[in-house]
Structure 1
Amino acid sequence: MSKTSLVILLHLFALLPIFGKQQNNLQSDKCPSEKQSVECLLEKLDLPAALEKEILQSKEREKQGAVLLDYFRSRRGIHHPVKREDRIGSLGNLASKADIEMADDALKHIFVGQPAYPRFFCGDDIDWGARPVPDDEWVWQLNRMYFWNAMGRAYWHTGDERYARAWGEQLIDWVRKNPYDEEHSYAWRSIETGIRGNSWCELYQRFIDSPSFTPEVLIHFLNSLHDHATLLMIKYTTNSNWALMEAEGLAFIAILFPEFKESPAWRSEAFRRLNVEIDKQVYPDGHQRELAMGYHVGCISWFLRSYELAKMNGLAEAFPRSYEKKIEKMCEVPMKLCHPDGTVVQFGDAWTGEPGQYKSRFMAWSKLFNREDFLYMATGGAEGKAPAERAFALPESGLYSMRSSWERDAIFLALKCGPDGGGHSQPDNGTFGLYAGGRILMPDAGSYIYSGDWEGRAWFRQTKVHQTLTLDDRNSAYAPALLKWECHNDLDLLVVENRSYDDLTHRRSVLFVDKRYFVIIDEAYGSAAGDVELHFQLAPGEPIVDKKRYSIETSYPEGWNLFLKCSREMGEMELREEEGWVSHVYTVKEPRSAFCFHVKKNGREKVVRYVTLLLPYNGVKPDIRVKLLNESADRPLSNVNLEITEYGQKKWIGYTL
């Protein structure tokens, strides 16, 4: 065992009594009854001998605190992305209008919790456990205090001392009211603790030079920061994005405040976790294991910020070269899988977001990794070079995309058939999203809301509300396989399958023909008997439905539309309408049209097969028809031959497995 590992192990054993059932908070037995005191803080610090002597020689707590504050204000050689020397240059050009509004509300104790809900007045005597809505996300995010960061930016932007004074008062209030115990667990989940560990370090940089940053503020701040790191040292939610926020908070505290006695052990443990988690959580294809885009992009930041802070402070040797290369691979994922306008395909717990939402990130990544394709994404094609490919396979993640071009009005389809990504993933293998001409024509359902009853998150997680196949409306398993992936100028081909049920496998073949339209062949094979249904959902609107011809067509008066036609040449089929909802924003859902092509499969029937044409178009709908030439009732097809007729002209395409 290494010396560092031994130090960490001994530290963890020392912490065990702190979190026993008989303890209600993180107070050390060596500290006096008044936890937020300079004496308690000094027990936690390893200060220069002369400074410690000067502090101890003074018998007045106020003077002790003043000496300590002078030290922290004057120390140099510790670096943070927010540079204190930039404060004067930030006057008038830092905070956004939204920052100022949020900061001004915070002065009046009107706070942001989960931002999808209205801001809420938490009382003259602040209630940090306020619950204005029956959604735990509100109170959890209230205790991340994003409004404090807005106050910090507003302070540098305006120079108005009210922001610094109010922040100090609110900090002291929060620390005194929120000891680490069961009653205040809403404030001490490890994810919030980790987020504060990072964001409070930024707040320190913003406010340390303010006259309102008093010795009392410093003492409460550092004592509480020590509590944060102590908790994060023993909370480790491995294989989850939580682990990264926990490690990041621990790393930022340890690097920015090396005066804490435990900082070397904290720093070593934080770096160890990040190195472990990037191998555990990131597939070789670059996607984070939870398979939800917002969390993936967040994980890039959580991996990257600690690494950059370490480099900034001469600690880069704690990370191997492979660490940075894996982050670079992660940065390729939104380029490969997002819609051409930069919005998100809502696989798992994801929301569409705004067009171009990742441009600033691509700009930063283009500089960090010297990537022309990232620069192209950052500038909307004005600079840099478009990626050389137009189709991408992420086989370990089970995510695939095809596009007609790198223009914003391109035709684009992304499909998911991957492993179980955990709590932020959904049982939806085979599902896809379709976009054309700047319009999302077939969006994934989304996830709506994290807390609530059946009408909330659970409804959106059902397999049957995704663009895929079900047996008796049951949720499917995660059992994916990639069978074929080929890309050519006139045809992109993807064949995947998922053993969705013990006795039924779903094979889906997607052909992107001439970069203009898609033919999808779905085969459900196995011994199962029951209701086999192929589900499709559209963007909100009133489609034209022809149940006899098994066709559905959107009817938008302007822009691009979609024609969908399904056929089953062997056996009966029924086109049914279903309940449909889509959520593009947290807490907001809207109705949409949803359909299924229903087949009653008996136990003797080996295969149910569907052939679907997805034809996005602008203006007049092209006359395109698709026919499967070879059928087999006994097994899924290994040789596929399609006849495509366009305005009377025939052509044949196919593939062999």
Structure 2
Amino acid sequence: MNFDKLKILTSAICFFCGSFLFAQQRIPSDVVISPENLAQYLNDSVKNKLSKNGKITETVLTEYFRQKFAERFFYDWHSVPSRFQQYRQLYDNESGHLSRAKELMTDFSATTSWLLPFNHPNGEAVKPHPFQHLARQHKMVDVGFAYFYDQKNPVYLQYFINQRNSLIDALKSGKYEKVEGGNGVFEVFITGYRVLNWLTVHNLFLGEKNYSDHDQLVTIATLLQHGENLYENNPKYRPGNHQTRGMSSLAMLSILLRDFKGTDLWYQRSMSILEEHLTREVNPDGFQFERTVHYHMGDIENYFYVYQLAQISQIQVNQVWKNKLQSLFTTLAKIAYPDKSAPVLQDCTDRTWAESEDISETMTLGYLLFNDPELGYFAQNRVEAGMFWFLQDKQLNLLNAIEKKKPSFSSLSFPDTRYYVMRQGWNKNDKMMIISAGLDPNKPDHQHGDMLGVQAMANGKIILPNYQVYYELPDFELFKNSLVKNVALVDNELQGKEWTPNKGKTGFGKFGILPKPQTILWQSNKNYDIFVGSHDGFKNVGVDYSRQVIFVKNDFWIIKDNFSSDKLHTYKQVWQGHYTIEKKPELLRSVFPDAMGCDILQLLPVSQVSQSGARGKQWSIVEKNDEKDFNFVTVIFPFNGYGNRINEFEVQPDLKGWKVNQLSFAAEGNRFCSISNSQNSYLLNVKKIALKNLILTFSKETDIFIQEKENAVLISALGCQQVLMNISGSISNSMNEKTIGNSTPFNPGEKITCKIK
């Protein structure tokens, strides 16, 4: 054998032996290491530090990790007694913690099964949804708190130990739910939550004599097994919050337990995948890609845990962490209602049937992280109760003097996520509307049937609501679809189609088909905001559809729904809220206890209005029957008190100084209508205009805004498509300060100035 071949053979043998030894030292994912063998998996430097006469006792190892948790965890466990007293004073949560702890301990024995089917102790069959929450171990945190509320009753600590051991036994025997069945005990999301909750409980109990050295090491060993499982089963990026939750926990474990071999690989992989989630799933406009406030805030927590632990351990993270995390908080400020809550966007599940989302606790966290007064505007003097245990004392002390500044955001768009916000301002009674016009192509699982739907607040009241949902309710599909949104419909078609329940049968489901939207125009100026968009949700029945939303600053909105087909259809608008029919069928009205209210006025004749509802919610359906082409032209008119409503007894009502169909010049069209004051006019379905010497004709009916000035007329295109405009009687015409002729294409959003005598 020559020398080169010998070198190759030697290298191969060394590589094989090294790989074998590394594999032997790798933390296993299919079994929990026994405490007496745990020291074998330590890094060499830690081994050398702790070893005496070649041995590391359980006592030494446990004391070492108690010290490391005191240094590395979110708070020092030595402070649990004083921190618990502070928590008790700040939050009235005792009954809640005790109640939820009792629920868990009553519903599942300490030595529970981890494989369906099985029964609760009372003999009832365990359903998938409660089983998933058992696997996540949410209520084990309540068990931890119950221990302290109930004068350190050891039954709670022992329940945790026994239930942890029951999972270890299930892992050993293979008798646990696998991922393929939809309720996998070691599915990435479920495992991630269990790690977070067990870390919380572990740190709470570290100072307790009943939590023996042996049991502390068993918990650490179990967490190591969980970490290796997360590592092995997540070799690359997968979209969605399930992997984000799991990788957040893997990163936490890699920081807290970095004394073990292989955890450096955990850190590298988890941080790499999390950064990919940050880059891919936090859109450039700052919105989480699933387009839901609930999961947006959930991702903030996922990233926060890692960011916070890295800062505590002085581990440098890439700049993308700070930039993206801060943008997630700023986004919540941008979409907030004037009362500092947020609209209910897509799957929000924090408070079932609520019509807004409380973001104050999340924004308080943002203020503590970034010390931004505009985030402080939404903050309160305490964080969410659960988050209290993940913040350091120096951060909590900042809440004693929060610096607040009204946000500078006005009307704006999220061009990637495609939400559009029309805002009057930040005073209590100011108006605000948000339009939903996006669909994530990769994971639309949490998307509702609300394409081009709106939500609005005025005078401190939500006048066009959407509702939070609950996956377990049998009418979840109804509340996720378009009958319970502020949208337009055709015949009996709903936007969401092909409903598919999830594998685990927990109640969650998603639509296989949702409309694909297109944004045609978004503009904001001192006179109006305008959104124009379309979607293909009714193509299956041969109908083209588009919607225009115009905010007449700062008075009211005009919403125009456009339908076109070769066949006869029934066209519909759906409006959410408790409205009564005041002038059949043209006027709907809602009045709140303080006499604030909202009128919904149809400017074109409609056929009928029907009303329905469920779960204490109500919606009105405005219909126009047997039409091929039709436009709803609707005014959303908030008012403050009886005298400021739309007067239903007037033939031509006054809208805060705006007149309906009372122009000072001539205009015509098949379904023409107008809203105007002394200088400005919104002309809808207009074909021809004669204003002084100026005559404007359009190739097809369109929508425009006209502003009369001395010796000039400004014309803005508000329609959905290009038209050809012919101009006569003007001295000159210009667009973007460039002279144009008397016949010109006129596209949505374009503005033309005509000089006249």
Task: Provide the TM-score with structure 1 as the length reference.
Answer: 0.80
**Match of residue 640, structure 1, among 699, 704, 707:** 704
The answer to whether 1:104 aligns with 2:137 is no
Structure 1 contact 375–383 (Cα < 8 Å) conserved? yes
Structure 1 contact 55–68 (Cα < 8 Å) conserved? no
The answer to whether 1:376 aligns with 2:370 is no
SS in 1 for 2:377: helix
The answer to whether 1:483 aligns with 2:520 is yes
The answer to whether 1:597 aligns with 2:623 is yes
Alpha-carbon distance between aligned partners in 1 of 2:59 and 2:699, rounded to the nearest angstrom: 81
Name the structure 1 match of 2:413.
393
1:7-86 equivalent positions in 2, closer than 5 A = 26-27=29-30, 37-39=34-36, 41-42=38-39, 44-46=41-43, 48-50=46-48, 54=52, 64-75=57-68, 78-86=71-79
Name the structure 1 match of 2:753.
none
Task: Provide the TM-score with structure 2 as the length reference.
Answer: 0.70
**CA displacement at 1:578 relative to structure 2:** 4.8
Alpha-carbon distance between aligned partners in 2 of 1:560 and 1:348, rounded to the nearest angstrom: 27
For structure 1, list consecutive stretches of 5 or more residues without a partner in the other structure: 1-5, 19-24, 29-34, 59-63, 113-119, 582-588, 644-650
Name the structure 1 match of 2:324.
326
Alpha-carbon distance between aligned partners in 2 of 1:533 and 1:642, rounded to the nearest angstrom: 29
**Match of residue 193, structure 2, among 177, 192, 195:** 195
Alpha-carbon distance between aligned partners in 2 of 1:399 and 1:485, rounded to the nearest angstrom: 11
Name the structure 1 match of 2:108.
122
SS in 1 for 2:229: helix
The answer to whether 1:148 aligns with 2:140 is yes
Name the structure 2 match of 1:450.
471
Name the structure 1 match of 2:598.
562
Structure 1 contact 94–157 (Cα < 8 Å) conserved? no
SS in 2 for 1:260: coil
Instruction: Describe the superposition over 1:240-289 as per-residue Cα deviations: whole angstroms up to 9, x where unpaired.
Output: 01121011110111110113322111111110011111111111111111
Alpha-carbon distance between aligned partners in 1 of 2:271 and 2:574, rounded to the nearest angstrom: 45
Give aligned pairs, total.
593
Give the counterpart letter for 1:205 in structure 2.
Answer: N
After superposition, the Cα gap between the structure-2 partners of 1:351 and 1:26, relative to the gap in structure 1 and judged at 3 Å, is closer
Alpha-carbon distance between aligned partners in 1 of 2:53 and 2:205, rounded to the nearest angstrom: 23
Structure 2 contact 569–626 (Cα < 8 Å) conserved? yes
Name the structure 2 match of 1:466.
485
Instruction: Describe the superposition over 1:295-332 as per-residue Cα deviations: whole angstroms up to 9, x where unpaired.
Output: 11111121222122223223224x2x133112211111
Alpha-carbon distance between aligned partners in 1 of 2:43 and 2:313, rounded to the nearest angstrom: 19
For structure 2, list consecutive stretches of 5 or more residues without a partner in the other structure: 1-14, 382-400, 496-513, 647-653, 661-672, 675-682, 688-697, 708-712, 719-747, 749-757
Structure 1 contact 100–151 (Cα < 8 Å) conserved? no
**CA displacement at 1:518 relative to structure 2:** 0.9
Give the counterpart letter for 1:122 in structure 2.
Answer: F
Alpha-carbon distance between aligned partners in 2 of 1:262 and 1:156, rounded to the nearest angstrom: 36
**Match of residue 337, structure 1, among 335, 356, 377:** 335
Alpha-carbon distance between aligned partners in 2 of 1:312 and 1:513, rounded to the nearest angstrom: 50
Alpha-carbon distance between aligned partners in 2 of 1:328 and 1:555, rounded to the nearest angstrom: 39
After superposition, the Cα gap between the structure-2 partners of 1:55 and 1:271, relative to the gap in structure 1 and judged at 3 Å, is farther
Instruction: Describe the superposition over 1:498-548 as per-residue Cα deviations: whole angstroms up to 9, x where unpaired.
Output: 2334454432221222312111112224x4535353322332x46134334
Name the structure 2 match of 1:22.
none
The answer to whether 1:405 aligns with 2:425 is yes
After superposition, the Cα gap between the structure-2 partners of 1:535 and 1:542, relative to the gap in structure 1 and judged at 3 Å, is closer
Name the structure 2 match of 1:359.
360
Structure 1 contact 575–596 (Cα < 8 Å) conserved? yes
Structure 1 contact 93–157 (Cα < 8 Å) conserved? no
Give the counterpart letter for 2:522 in structure 1.
Answer: W
Structure 1 contact 507–524 (Cα < 8 Å) conserved? yes
**CA displacement at 1:142 relative to structure 2:** 2.8
**Match of residue 137, structure 1, among 129, 146, 159:** 129
Instruction: Describe the superposition over 1:66-98 as per-residue Cα deviations: whole angstroms up to 9, x where unpaired.
Output: 343233224478512122243343252124665
Name the structure 2 match of 1:32.
none
**CA displacement at 1:410 relative to structure 2:** 2.5
**Match of residue 631, structure 1, among 655, 664, 685:** 685
Structure 1 contact 497–506 (Cα < 8 Å) conserved? yes
After superposition, the Cα gap between the structure-2 partners of 1:76 and 1:632, relative to the gap in structure 1 and judged at 3 Å, is closer
After superposition, the Cα gap between the structure-2 partners of 1:224 and 1:635, relative to the gap in structure 1 and judged at 3 Å, is farther
Structure 1 contact 522–611 (Cα < 8 Å) conserved? yes
Structure 1 contact 175–220 (Cα < 8 Å) conserved? no
Give the counterpart letter for 2:176 in structure 1.
Answer: E
Structure 1 contact 469–535 (Cα < 8 Å) conserved? yes
Give the counterpart letter for 1:538 in structure 2.
Answer: Q
Alpha-carbon distance between aligned partners in 2 of 1:68 and 1:494, rounded to the nearest angstrom: 63
Alpha-carbon distance between aligned partners in 2 of 1:45 and 1:175, rounded to the nearest angstrom: 24
Alpha-carbon distance between aligned partners in 1 of 2:491 and 2:53, rounded to the nearest angstrom: 74
SS in 2 for 1:183: coil
SS in 2 for 1:363: helix
Name the structure 1 match of 2:506.
none
The answer to whether 1:160 aligns with 2:160 is no
Give the counterpart letter for 2:80 in structure 1.
Answer: R
SS in 2 for 1:593: strand
Give the counterpart letter for 1:362 in structure 2.
Answer: M
**Match of residue 548, structure 2, among 509, 524, 528:** 509
After superposition, the Cα gap between the structure-2 partners of 1:273 and 1:510, relative to the gap in structure 1 and judged at 3 Å, is same
Name the structure 1 match of 2:737.
none
Name the structure 2 match of 1:647.
none
Name the structure 2 match of 1:521.
560
Structure 2 contact 247–270 (Cα < 8 Å) conserved? yes
Identity over aligned pairs, percent: 17
Structure 1 contact 363–375 (Cα < 8 Å) conserved? yes
**CA displacement at 1:574 relative to structure 2:** 1.8
After superposition, the Cα gap between the structure-2 partners of 1:653 and 1:337, relative to the gap in structure 1 and judged at 3 Å, is farther
Give the counterpart letter for 1:425 in structure 2.
Answer: Q
**Match of residue 204, structure 1, among 183, 202, 205:** 202
Instruction: Describe the superposition over 1:153-186 as per-residue Cα deviations: whole angstroms up to 9, x where unpaired.
Output: 5667787363773454344444345428463344
